[in-house]
Amino acid sequence: MCLAVPARVVNVDTDAETADVMLGGIRKSISTALLDEVAEGDYVLVHVGYALHRLDAGEAEATLDLMREAGISAAAVSGSTRP
């Protein structure tokens, strides 16, 4: 099963087409090559290390709330082995 997770952008490197995002309390570097524009503070949908789509904050928070209700941890789906 594939799962894309909303994450908040905390830093953007436009030269490298990468960004750092916060995902379940974990900072992770992702590619932004598939998006036209990404800014600090944006929410993006992340799948296998790529930002696929920008989301508005309300939509991102609603999705994260549903994931929490379902018992799904964003950190668990981020590929991290940290608790």
pLDDT for 71: 85
Q: What pLDDT is stored for residue 82 in this prediction?
A: 42
What is the pTM assigned to this prediction? 0.80
The span from the CA of 22 to the CA of 27, in Å, is: 5
Q: Which tokens sit at 60?
A: 């991102």
CATH number, residue 66: 2.30.30.140
Contact 61, 19 (CB under 8 A): no
Determine the Cα angle at 17 with ends 14 and 19, to 5°. 80
What is the residue range of 65's domain?
Answer: 5-77
Confidence tier at 1 by pLDDT (50, 70, 90)? low
Give the count of domains, the chain. 1
